[in-house]
Amino acid sequence: MQAEPLATAAGFQLVGPLLITPRVFGDARGFFYESWNQRNFNSALEANGQSPVAFVQDNHSRSSQGVLRGLHFQKDPHAQGKLVRCIQGEIFDVVVDCRQSSSTFGQWASARLSSENHQQLWVPAGFAHGFLTLSAQAEVLYKTTEFWDRDCERSLLWSDSDLAIAWPQATEPLLADKDVAAPTWQTLIAAGDGFQ
């Protein structure tokens, strides 16, 4: 497997998130690949200056075209890292750096994850995460390093002009109520809901 850092829209490299491309073996019968290997994943983290992690929960979502989920994160003490992959269809996956000590604080990066490219996105704690469904349907699986905690859950407005995320859709996405009502970047940071 290969693990590569993501670049922001401004061309800066984000420290933390990694786009993971597995080695896929295909022939006339179909394909095979190792979708998860703890040893290889932690080796990739260590090679990129990060500590090994352990996952505690797997989540599975199904979304119709135009559904946008996010931007979500959990703050300390239950901050979550996520390993995201799309097993059906295609999504536009986005991360936003919420770490105030980071040189890329407030910047975003994206990757297209699909059932065709088999890529996965590692989203470490300290980043907001969301995705837009590009295909007619998409199924997304993700592992988390912490259990869900209602008191630590936070949302960030997907369309915030300070973030200026270039979502690849001309029409308004389909959103959950909490995502419609999510605070702006400035409001979120002023409330102390970022990371140090």
Q: Which residues are catalytically annotated? A: 72, 142
- Amino acid letter, residue 10: A
CB atoms within 10 A of CB 143: 21
For residues 68 and 178, give the distance between their C-alpha atoms in angstroms, rounded to a whole number: 12
